[in-house]
Amino acid sequence: MTRNNVTCLILGGGRGTRLFPLTALRSKPAVPIAGKYRLIDIPISNCIYSGLNRMYVLTQFNSLSLHRHITNTYKFDGFGGGFVEILAAQQTMENQEWYQGTADAVRQNLELLKDELSDLVLILSGDQLYRMDFQEMIRLHHETRSVATIAALPVDEQEATACGIMQIQPDGQVHNFLEKPKTRDALDSVRTDPKWLEGQGIRAGNRSYLASMGIYLFNRDVLVDLLNRMDVDDFGKGVFPAAIADPNMRVQIFPFDGYWEDIGTIGAFHKANIDLTRVDAPFDFAADNKTIFTRPRFMAPSKVNGATLTRCLIADGAAIGKGSVLEHSIVGLRTQIGENVTIRNSYVMGADVFEGQRGIEKNQKEGRPNIGVGDDSIIEDAIIDKNARVGRGVRIRKQPRDQEVDHEGLYYVRDGIVVVPKFAVIPDGTEI
């Protein structure tokens, strides 16, 4: 299997409403993670390390920053035939609709697939955190002579009720698919024998259900045929179940037992980032010398002037003032933190530019805080988006998980996390 035999389609998702307000001004794959990366860097890096270098990113909402990031980051030499290209939704003579779902997004680009020389199409999501060698999935796909292969993660019963669960035969062929089973009978019908999982080298424990990871590998001609003759908009709810039900099609399971996080909500996004600060972090961006790629930047080292840092990630260009205390937090690119600031369990994404002395003087004249976090502020269980201005003496505390707050333009509360949106201005002394 050579790299040019596989075309990779990375789905940018819809409006990203569950990640709002982080998606108010950017597409979901463009959301910054771990201080210096973007979510789109994960699937692209996985493809590159798997020897797959023909990638299309399908998106339609707020794609400007995503396009800029990809253009400035992923450049292949002219001899290898590699590329990462954006396929934004557009009106044509044949179709004047926006993408209606994951399957419809691919359907609207079928002419491109027909022109590709690839035998296989790998479909990925743009909002997941994991590391996978797709060549192992491709190898299993060929060995089992399947027309489609789906990656699956072992989960326990509680997690199974929120996932698409697959029932398999002893040889790993998918026999049935059930979306979010809730009842006892439904759960029992798709339960996998733990002995089967153990036979795959997976320590099952109480994880006896195989959940779809939203990672699909199709024979190209089969995928084109399915999308041409089916009027469905989603892979997980339409295309994949139809392929399983067809007796002439073999759909294979690819069991995966590594770290995988679907970053679809503010709560999940916050937890995934804070978990990265742990000593035993579940995901390592540089594991096995396979560093996750991102945009190369030429910035000065970060400065820490008499601050105390405990289990923190600090990105390039940051400055942290005297007497500040940071615990279990992430400080993004160019973040400016004042003196005597306390930040706990929070993600401060940073800034797109350095304001410089002239900008700071202008801020003082106009009576607004600088970009970053002002002196004597306390930030707990929060996400401060890029270019936000948090003034002096601001107090942001953890909020109840069961309430949502929309304080337009100033802050939002989701899953108990306070989110200060991009470009927001929090005046001095504000208490949230």
Q: Tell me which of 244, 275, 306 is where a domain ends.
A: 275
Q: Verify that 301 and 270 share a domain, yes or no.
A: no
Q: Verify that 379 and 414 share a domain, yes or no.
A: yes
Q: Residue 42 to residues 47, 115, 178, 292, 294: CA-CA distances in angstroms?
A: 9, 27, 28, 7, 9
* DSSP letters spanning 3-60: GGGEEEEEE--S--GGGTTTTSSS-GGGSEETTTEETTHHHHHHHHHTT--EEEEEE-
Paired residues of 383 in beta bridges: 347, 419
Residue 223 tokens, joined: 């995928």
Instruction: Show Cβ contacts of residue 173 under 8 Å, excluding neighbours closer than 6 positions.
Output: 144, 146, 250, 251, 252, 253
**CB of 399 closer than 8 Å to CB of 413:** yes
Q: Tell me which of 212, 245, 275 is where a domain ends.
A: 275
- End-to-end Cα, the chain, rounded Å: 55
Q: For 415, phi and psi rounded to 5 degrees?
A: 55, 35
Alpha-carbon dihedral angle through residues 7, 32, 296, 10, given to the nearest 10 degrees: 0
Decide if 287 is inside a domain: no
Q: Residue 225 to residues 55, 173, 236: CA-CA distances in angstroms?
A: 21, 21, 17
**Which of 310-332 are b and which e, b meaning 16 or more Cβ less than 10 Å from the residue's Cβ?**
eebbbbbbbbbbebbbbbbbbbb
Please report, for the domain that includes residue 387, its CATH number.
2.160.10.10
Decide if 376 is inside a domain: yes
Residue ranges with strand state E in 162-246: 164-168, 174-179, 209-219
CB atoms within 10 A of CB 279: 5
Domain count of the fold of the chain: 2
> Taking the complete model, does pTM exceed 0.85, yes or no?
yes
The angle subtended at Cα 266 by Cα 260 and Cα 267, nearest 5°, is 70
Decide if 281 is inside a domain: no
Q: Verify that 35 and 112 share a domain, yes or no.
A: yes
Q: Verify that 110 and 225 share a domain, yes or no.
A: yes
Q: Verify that 324 and 243 share a domain, yes or no.
A: no
Q: Verify that 195 and 268 share a domain, yes or no.
A: yes
Quote the pLDDT of residue 115. 73
CA distance 431 to 424: 15
Decide if 211 is inside a domain: yes
Domain carrying residue 249: 3-275
Average pLDDT per run of 10 along the chain, which is 432 residues long?
75 79 91 96 97 89 84 86 80 53 79 82 94 96 96 95 93 92 92 92 92 94 88 77 88 95 92 97 91 93 96 97 98 98 98 93 95 98 98 96 88 97 97 96
Q: Tell me which of 275, 305, 334 is where a domain ends.
A: 275
Q: Measure CA 124 to chain center.
A: 11
CB atoms within 10 A of CB 268: 17
Q: Verify that 353 and 270 share a domain, yes or no.
A: no
Decide if 292 is inside a domain: no
Q: Verify that 244 and 386 share a domain, yes or no.
A: no
Instruction: Show Cβ contacts of residue 300 under 8 Å, excluding neighbours closer than 6 positions.
Output: 316, 317
Selection from 415, 391, 384 nearest residue 401 by Cα:
415
Q: Verify that 233 and 379 share a domain, yes or no.
A: no
Quote the pLDDT of residue 84. 93
Selection from 10, 8, 29, 5 nearest residue 19 by Cα:
29
CA distance 11 to 43: 10
**CB of 344 closer than 8 Å to CB of 373:** no
Selection from 5, 11, 77, 88 nearest residue 44 by Cα:
11
**3-class DSSP assignment, residue 205:** coil
CA distance 234 to 177: 14
Q: Verify that 53 and 191 share a domain, yes or no.
A: yes
Decide if 286 is inside a domain: no
Q: For 200, phi and psi rounded to 5 degrees?
A: -95, 10
Decide if 288 is inside a domain: no
Q: Verify that 360 and 407 share a domain, yes or no.
A: yes
Please report, for the domain that includes residue 132, its CATH number.
3.90.550.10
Decide if 73 is inside a domain: yes
AA letter at 402: D
AA letter at 338: G
**CB of 187 closer than 8 Å to CB of 155:** no
CA distance 335 to 318: 5
Q: Residue 123 to residues 53, 264, 277: CA-CA distances in angstroms?
A: 14, 18, 30
**CB of 376 closer than 8 Å to CB of 359:** no
CA distance 249 to 221: 12
Q: Verify that 204 and 253 share a domain, yes or no.
A: yes
Q: Regarding beta strands 395-396 and 389-390, do their DSSP bridges make them parallel or antiparallel, or are they unpaired?
A: unpaired
